Structure 1
Amino acid sequence: MPFADLGLSNELLQAVTDAGYSEPTPIQAAAIPPVLMMRDIIGIAQTGTGKTASFVLPMIDILAHGRSRARMPRSLILEPTRELAAQVAENFEKYGANSNLSMALLIGGVQMGDQIAALEKGVDVLIATPGRLMDLFGRGKILLTGCSMLVIDEADRMLDMGFIPDIEEICTKLPKQRQTLLFSATMPPPIKKLADKFLDNPKRIEVARPASTNTNITQWLVPVSGGGHDKRRRLRELLEQPEVTNAIIFCNRKTTVRELNKSLKQHGFKSGEIHGDMEQAQRIAELDLFKDGHVTILVASDVAARGLDIKGVSTVFNFDAPWHPDDYVHRIGRTGRAGATGTAYTMVGPEDAENIDNIEKLTGQKIARLAAPAEPERAPRDEAREESARLPRRERSPRAERPQPRAERSEPRTERPEPRAAARPPRREEAVDAGWNGPVPDFLHVALSARG
């Protein structure tokens, strides 16, 4: 089915063609027509299926007619993270190139003054994170009474981050007569309760089983042992494969992100990092470097796991097995997007057995284990190191058995004064043994007798 069959305007179809797309993804084909018919919808789709365009495209056509007023946005899109909000803004700029719609991005980590100024001019589309939106609403800088369209994106992520109370309060500030679109990768009970409360007879669209993983992604478990050193070494081996053109590496902790990025750079990889301790401008700059190819490896915490749409990511690595099985689905979804294929590796040690078991239960599939590669050319070097390591032990072994030469001495031990022999420190005896393997010379006995 081509985009032309979905009911979009000619101007919008041209923008889609200019962006390089010819056919909609399943979620787009299923969602766009009912959205254009002003239906509320619940869209359940795994990450990487193109759901952003499934609400951005019809929203542009719906808002094409009308005029914005100061501090009263005509539509609102709620995103859980700054990165997702920025990505949706990029989509609006790309697909709305032939429209006259105005847009404002309301996120934390950037100056509030420019955002307030944009709101004062009036915007057709407001893209916001719940925290910053509630902040400006409390300051009286936003009125939501003119908002006729609401999108709640990544609802399950909103739940994980504790935003559901904020979303409920925001919904009470909007007109009751509105169109509401809710998108989520999974549908846990709190999200279903939210949908039942604020959506009106929604059309449910599900293009994949909740929590399923993309079949275009080849998944591997990589057994590792010996702690962080072994993990980093094995990771570098996998990164050097020719099919790994670029990669996102996920870690559970921000400190691990920083340490791993530093290690990769020291080994000559073009890597960057993104995590929650970075300023928003820094995070955007790192993402741009990765998108442009100046950086080919992006080490990230889970702040970047959901929704980032970066074309052509060949490989995802879980340097740390994720603590929550849902995070696994969203992490590996950074590859294999829009019909492309990808590979996901998860480094696992004995302590990760429970996490992997939970992931396999959630996704309903067993993940294959990757065998350690054969390294024939490294074997001689290993043997040489082992041989070198054994040499000192062979040299020390005879020294430990030196009592025998003393037992064969021609001079009886009784010729030495007994009290002095008993009081002689062990170090002196060891020093003599270490330096001479034959009988003790007479002059040494003379010296010892004289001292006695």
Structure 2
Amino acid sequence: MSFADLGLSDELLQAVEAAGYTEPTPIQAQTIPPVLMMKDLIGIAQTGTGKTAAFVLPMIDILGHGRRRALMPRSLILEPTRELAAQVAENFEKYGKNHDLKMALLIGGVQMGDQLKALSGGVDVLIATPGRLMDLFERGKIMLTGCELLVIDEADRMLDMGFIPDIETICSKLPANRQTLLFSATMPPVIKKLADRFLTNPKYVEVARPASTNTNIAQHKVAVPSRKKREALRELLRTDNVTTAIVFANRKTTVRELAKSLKSHGFSAGEIHGDMDQSARNAELERFKAGEISILCASDVAARGLDVKGVSHVFNFDTPWHPDDYVHRIGRTGRGGATGRAFTFVAPEDAEAIANVEKLTGGPIPVYDLALGETTAPAEKPARPEKPRRGAKAAQEEKSPQGAKSDGEPKPTPKPTRSGRNPAAPVEEERVEAAAPARKAPRVPRRTADPVATGDDAGWNGPVPQFLAVSALA
């Protein structure tokens, strides 16, 4: 199938061809025709599947007919982060170059005066983050009554960031007779409820199981103590044929410290996080795209939706607190049919977090052995060791195993002496008791420890459980 088979205009097909694309991705092939037919749509697709173009392309053709009015955008695209909003704007500029369409970007961290000036002239497409849009709406600087088409992108991330109340308010201010498109990587109950309320008989398109990960990404988890993470990261950066990489951490302070540490060890690294102003974040992102730096340390919010071609590796320096973030993080590599590698550092305290990730993604993640430089298949969970017993009875059973036989019969359990001592107790215990001031007890014949309980394996109580050897995914 080609883009020409989807019903797009000749002007748009020329722009798509000029951008170097010839065949639509599955999400594009299934989404574009119903959108052109003015149907509401729910699109479930993991990141890196071409989802943005799936709604940008038909929107350009739909908006090619009509007239714009001041302060009344004809269409609205809601994005959770500034970076993702800026990337959608880039897509409109690239594919809409043969159409007479005006676009405005409404995001935080940018002077409001320029944005208001763009709105006053009338726009066909308004790309906004919920916070800035609500700010202008409450000031009476924008009217939503002329909006014919609404796109809610990255809906699950909107939920994580607490934007759902704003989304509901915005939807209630839009005309009831409109087309609505909702895209999400997962479909939690809150998002389903939102879709049921604001979409009318939507077409449902799913190109991957919710929360599944890209099969083009080789995933690994590395068991490493927290204090050894930086050393492990440097080792992988040097040895795993890394060309460009994004390193994710859970905290902004960790992102800053990690970038500084990598630079001190000679790596070409940069950082992007929420404490940076928008211009600094844009500048750092442009350096990464241009190849001036090869490693970008990032927080989840700042890097959500980043679309950078050729990212060979993703490193989860910290195991994500939310399982959905794992899917979005590793989706920065393996995009557009390319292959990628993702490593997650798992410290002992990450056991619960990695278990939640593996539950979401549908199976254990292979363990990467740093010493050997290779991945081993996930081991089966060993049988749960028997709970040790307490008291003298346990000591008797451990030191006089009933499994040891003489002439085919088990050895009888020795009876305690008048002092309460077990004649089969270890010599060390006997010495301690002899040294302690106590009443005189009748002498107990000294006995050599049972050969079953001596040697290198003395005191061993079964295999070490796997969950103690390797914690969770980082």
Deviations for 1:97-123, whole angstroms, at most 9, x for unmatched residues?
111100000000110000000000000
Q: Are 1:148 and 2:167 an aligned pair?
A: no
Q: How far 1:125 moved relative to its partner? A: 0.2
For residue 217 of structure 1, what is the aligned residue in structure 2?
217
CA distance in 1 between counterparts of 2:117 and 2:302 reads: 29
SS, match of residue 219 in structure 2: strand
CA distance in 2 between counterparts of 1:233 and 1:357 reads: 24
Q: How far 1:276 moved relative to its partner? A: 0.4
Q: How far 1:256 moved relative to its partner? A: 0.5
For residue 348 of structure 1, what is the aligned residue in structure 2?
346
SS, match of residue 90 in structure 1: helix
Alpha-carbon contact 1:47-1:306 (below 8 Å) kept: no
Q: Which one of the candidate residues 311, 320, 323 is aligned to 1:322?
A: 320
1:295-314 matched pairs, under 5 angstroms:
295-314=293-312
Q: How far 1:306 moved relative to its partner? A: 2.4
Alpha-carbon contact 1:305-1:327 (below 8 Å) kept: no
TM-score, with length taken from structure 1: 0.81
1:177-196 matched pairs, under 5 angstroms:
177-196=177-196
For residue 335 of structure 1, what is the aligned residue in structure 2?
333
Q: How far 1:36 moved relative to its partner? A: 0.3
1:230-379 matched pairs, under 5 angstroms:
230-241=228-239, 243-374=241-372
CA distance in 2 between counterparts of 1:374 and 1:171 reads: 54
Q: How far 1:242 moved relative to its partner? A: 5.5
Uncovered stretches (5+) of structure 2, i.e. residues with no partner: 374-474
Structure with the larger helix share: 1
Alpha-carbon contact 2:83-2:303 (below 8 Å) kept: no
Deviations for 1:312-357, whole angstroms, at most 9, x for unmatched residues?
1000000001111111000000000111100000011111111111
Q: Which amino acid aligns with 1:231?
A: K
SS, match of residue 140 in structure 2: coil
For residue 26 of structure 1, what is the aligned residue in structure 2?
26
CA distance in 2 between counterparts of 1:159 and 1:242 reads: 36
SS, match of residue 93 in structure 1: helix
Q: How far 1:303 moved relative to its partner? A: 1.4
Deviations for 1:33-86, whole angstroms, at most 9, x for unmatched residues?
000000000000011111000000000000001111100000000001111101
CA distance in 2 between counterparts of 1:339 and 1:98 reads: 28
Alpha-carbon contact 1:83-1:304 (below 8 Å) kept: yes
CA distance in 2 between counterparts of 1:11 and 1:259 reads: 48
Q: How far 1:266 moved relative to its partner? A: 0.5
Taking every aligned residue pair, what percent have the same amino acid on both sides?
A: 77
Alpha-carbon contact 2:222-2:345 (below 8 Å) kept: yes
CA distance in 2 between counterparts of 1:293 and 1:306 reads: 20
Q: Are 1:35 and 2:35 an aligned pair?
A: yes
Q: How far 1:373 moved relative to its partner? A: 2.8
Name the larger-Rg structure: 1
Q: Which amino acid aligns with 2:280?
A: Q
Q: Which amino acid aligns with 1:110?
A: V
For residue 73 of structure 2, what is the aligned residue in structure 1?
73
For residue 104 of structure 1, what is the aligned residue in structure 2?
104
SS, match of residue 127 in structure 1: strand
Q: Which amino acid aligns with 2:106?
A: L
Q: How far 1:8 moved relative to its partner? A: 0.5
For residue 467 of structure 2, what is the aligned residue in structure 1?
none
For residue 92 of structure 2, what is the aligned residue in structure 1?
92
For residue 413 of structure 1, what is the aligned residue in structure 2?
none
Q: Which amino acid aligns with 1:47?
A: T
CA distance in 2 between counterparts of 1:312 and 1:7 reads: 30
Alpha-carbon contact 1:15-1:98 (below 8 Å) kept: yes
CA distance in 2 between counterparts of 1:319 and 1:194 reads: 34
CA distance in 1 between counterparts of 2:55 and 2:173 reads: 22
Alpha-carbon contact 2:46-2:214 (below 8 Å) kept: yes
Alpha-carbon contact 1:305-1:330 (below 8 Å) kept: no
Alpha-carbon contact 1:250-1:319 (below 8 Å) kept: yes
Q: How far 1:222 moved relative to its partner? A: 1.0
For residue 135 of structure 1, what is the aligned residue in structure 2?
135
CA distance in 2 between counterparts of 1:57 and 1:304 reads: 26
Q: How far 1:240 moved relative to its partner? A: 1.2
Q: Which amino acid aligns with 2:306?
A: L
SS, match of residue 361 in structure 1: helix
CA distance in 2 between counterparts of 1:168 and 1:323 reads: 26
CA distance in 2 between counterparts of 1:360 and 1:213 reads: 11
For residue 158 of structure 2, what is the aligned residue in structure 1?
158
Q: Which amino acid aligns with 1:98?
A: N
CA distance in 2 between counterparts of 1:34 and 1:90 reads: 24
* Stretch moving more, 365-374 or 249-258: 365-374
Report the RMSD for the aligned CA atoms in angstroms: 1.0
For residue 55 of structure 1, what is the aligned residue in structure 2?
55
Q: Give the aligned length.
A: 373
CA distance in 1 between counterparts of 2:56 and 2:345 reads: 37
CA distance in 1 between counterparts of 2:61 and 2:297 reads: 38
CA distance in 1 between counterparts of 2:372 and 2:361 reads: 31
CA distance in 2 between counterparts of 1:340 and 1:261 reads: 26
CA distance in 1 between counterparts of 2:216 and 2:150 reads: 32
Q: How far 1:139 moved relative to its partner? A: 1.1
For residue 12 of structure 2, what is the aligned residue in structure 1?
12
Q: How far 1:20 moved relative to its partner? A: 1.0
Q: Which amino acid aligns with 1:119?
A: L
Q: How far 1:173 moved relative to its partner? A: 1.0
Q: Which amino acid aligns with 2:127?
A: I
Q: How far 1:241 moved relative to its partner? A: 2.7
4+ aligned runs moved over 6 Å, structure 1: none
CA distance in 1 between counterparts of 2:78 and 2:207 reads: 22
Alpha-carbon contact 1:69-1:123 (below 8 Å) kept: yes
Deviations for 1:405-436, whole angstroms, at most 9, x for unmatched residues?
xxxxxxxxxxxxxxxxxxxxxxxxxxxxxxxx
Alpha-carbon contact 1:224-1:347 (below 8 Å) kept: yes
Q: How far 1:374 moved relative to its partner? A: 4.7
